[in-house]
Amino acid sequence: MSHSINNRILRVDLTEGRTWTEAPGMEFYRKYVGGRMFIAHYLLKELPQGADPLGPENMLIFAAGPVTGTPVPGNARHSVGAKSPMSGLYGESEAGGYWGAELKSAGWDGIIFTGKAEKPVYLWIKDDAVEIRDAAHLWGKITGDVEAELRDELGDNRVRVTQIGPAGENLVRFACVVNDLNEFAGRAGMGAVMGSKNLKAIAVRGSTRPQPADMEPLKRTAQWVARDTFAEGQPHYIFHEYGTGAMVKSKQLEGHVISHNFRDGVLEGAENSDAISIKENVTERMDGCYSCSVNCKKRVRIETAKMTVDPKYGGPEYETLAAIGSNLGVTDIMAVCKSAEMVNYLGLDSISAGSVLAWAMEMVEMGVISPEDLGGEELTFGRGADVLRWIEMIAYRKGFGDVLAEGATHAARKIGQDSGKYVMAVKGIDLGMHDPRAMENMRRQFAVAPVGGDHCGSAHKRNSLANTLGICQFLDYDDELKLELLNAATGWDMTLQELDDAYERGITMARQFNIREGWTTADDAMPWRIHQPMAMGPMSDQVLTEEQVRGETQDYYESRGWDRESGLPQADTVERLGLQA
């Protein structure tokens, strides 16, 4: 152990029901650091090429970062990775909350699952003691019930649980992994991989908090965040006041509200269910992740004769309120909050759930999906009550929900008739709720991100490093501060150059994995619609051309040390980063 590094990775073979410990050593940690870099390293090194993402060969990796669990705001992140059942390529997603910090306190930096349990199981970790337990009594249950039962069964209310909902059990391709009931490793179908392994949950309780080498920079940063950054005009003001989703009004004025499957740039009434409205009308309180004073998480309570929403499931952040709200033409705040609660307790990625529904609604409008296909159900933009029913039908694969449970990319392959043209995804992963026609940073992110339509900036240094270190991207920490926190946590003397190299190494490993699994430059392209003008609003006279995107993509390749035309890492880049086969 070296301060915040435990030097312990837990290995679990679910086929054999066997667990063991690996101690990779400090050289390994200096090279691969943590979080998303661990995931890229292990997938590249150990996963057989061409493995079925939903087969027992796939690996499911939970990885904390070196800063995870230390006492500084934004320290609560961990990553979850596997080969994605949505893209067949590199899959990875990050979550906050408490679970990652608890894993570190139990003395582990990560968990790697392989194989498949014969029957449903959960993993119970109490410090060094690790046990694979029967989960027959939990299978089929929603997340809130599972967490309550596990805490009861384990006799400890402070046990932290990460788990899948019914959607993951039913192998909904875009099922997510849920921790602490309102935090999600949402993207790329990590919940489906967990379900394919018959792994319902991982319950953790630890007793030794990470011991940073130098508390001073952590304390100073914590004081700066809490004392100086919450006032109007300061970096964390909006997050602290409203969480994400407060900018819908300005998106409306600028003409890039996500609406009707990215077709329209405006939607009348979209601000009725934005973060400001949700905060003012239905939020019981703001809450946050472990040791973070920003408190950007809404907890929504609704108790009416018609509807209830339980605050234990949190409340919709921006991606959710756009995906299952404005993108579906739904502006009713009650319906949006109820949909958010449902995707949370059923364990669906809200972005992909909204995306497949928006795509299907447009296909119904165009007559590509027929009333007979829908079996008597309505699937039309703007009908919040129907959305609630469809969310359930997808999670339980009922009726046409079974087709939609495959996600838009796979469902379009089944439906045919040019419907794939209207799928708003890159590499099979639905776009985050940001329109690249209006947002240059997303244009530079979506096409080249190893995880397709990932909105979390993982293609670029700022956020990629955050995901590697275990730091939340919402914190306004520049590279120098990130480095200071890393060295304070670990006792290392890493330099900015080494940190740069770590970013380049992580992104290049993810690319190497994708190349191995069949990636081509055609996968680094935007959906057809992004090259069409918006159907209405202030941006309806602007076009983003394929040449523009291709040029920016090639610039990105070049700046990574990859070949400008082929996108393949150059030999000298691979050698410089120590990534030779």
Which positions touch ligand SF4 (CB under 6 A)? 73-74, 76, 96, 239, 288-289, 292, 294-297, 472, 474
Least Cα distance to 353 among 379, 386, 385, 390 occurs for: 390
**Which whole-number Å values give the CA distances from 351 to 150, 234, 359, 454, in the listed order?**
28, 29, 12, 10
Q: 250 CB contacts (<8 Å, ≥6 apart)?
A: none
CB of 73 to ligand SF4, least distance (A): 6
Q: What is the DSSP track for 279-312?
A: HHHTEEEEE-STT-SS--EEEE-EE-SS-EE-GG
Sequence-distant (6+) residues with CB within 8 A of 376 are none
| Alpha carbon distance 410, 408 (integer Å) | 6
Contact between 206 and 106 under an 8 Å Cβ cutoff? The reply is yes
Looking at the Cβ atoms of 290 and 359, the one nearer to ligand SF4 is 290
Cβ nearer to ligand SF4, comparing 54 with 471:
471
CB of 422 to ligand SF4, least distance (A): 32
Cβ closest to ligand SF4, residue 352 vs residue 473: 473
Closest contact distance (angstroms) between CB of 263 and ligand SF4 is 31
The nearer residue to ligand SF4, 265 or 470, going by C-beta atoms, is 470
Closest CA to 198 of 118, 286, 268, 277: 118
Which amino acid, 103?
Answer: L
How far, in Å, CA of 238 to CA of 69, rounded?
24
Residue closer to ligand SF4 by CB (options 75, 419) is 75
Closest-CA residue to 435 (of 183, 296, 247, 279): 247
d(CA 210, CA 233): 34
DSSP per residue, 323-390: HTTGGGT---HHHHHHHHHHHHHHTB-HHHHHHHHHHHHHHHHTTSS-HHHHTT----TT-HHHHHHH
Q: Rounded CA gap, 526 and 452, in Å?
A: 10
Hey, how many other C-beta atoms are within 10 angstroms of the C-beta on 334?
17
- Residue 471 CB, shortest distance to ligand SF4, in Å, is 8
Minimum CB separation of residue 28 from ligand SF4 in Å reads 27
Please identify, using beta-carbon distances, which residue of 295 and 339 lies nearer to ligand SF4: 295
- List, in sequence order, every residue forming a beta bridge with 129; answer none if it has no partner: 126
Give the angle 426-462-1 at the CA atoms, nearest 5°.
110
Q: Which is nearer to ligand SF4, 35 or 74 (CB)?
A: 74
Taking the least distance from each CB to ligand SF4, the nearer of 236 and 505 is 236
Beta carbon nearer to ligand SF4, 73 or 347: 73
Residue pair 43/56 in contact by the 8 Å Cβ criterion = no
Q: Classify residue 57 by its DSSP letter.
A: T
Q: Which is nearer to ligand SF4, 245 or 329 (CB)?
A: 245
- Which residue, 340 or 404, has its beta carbon nearer to ligand SF4? 340
Angle, to 10 degrees, between the axis of helix 461-469 and the axis of helix 496-516?
A: 90
Q: Which is closer to ligand SF4, CB of 199 or CB of 218? A: 218
Residue placing its CB nearer to ligand SF4 in the complex, 239 or 396: 239
Name the minimum Å distance from CB 225 to ligand SF4. Answer: 9
CB hemisphere CA count around 291 (13 angstroms): 25
Q: How far is the CB of 244 from ligand SF4 (least distance, A)?
A: 9
Q: What is the DSSP string of 434-478?
A: --TTT-HHHHHHHTT-TTTT--S-TTSHHHHHHHHHT--TTS---
Least distance from C-beta 473 to ligand SF4, angstroms? 8
CB of 179 to ligand SF4, least distance (A): 12
Task: Give the shortest CB-472-to-ligand SF4 separation in angstroms.
Answer: 3
* Amino acid at residue number 450: P
- The distance of closest approach from Cβ of residue 183 to ligand SF4 in the complex, given in angstroms and rounded to an integer, is 8
- Tell me the closest approach of the beta carbon of residue 289 to ligand SF4, in angstroms: 3
Residue 68: CB minimum distance to ligand SF4, A: 11
* Residues in Cβ contact with 115 at an 8 Å cutoff, skipping those fewer than 6 apart: 13, 14, 15, 16, 56, 197
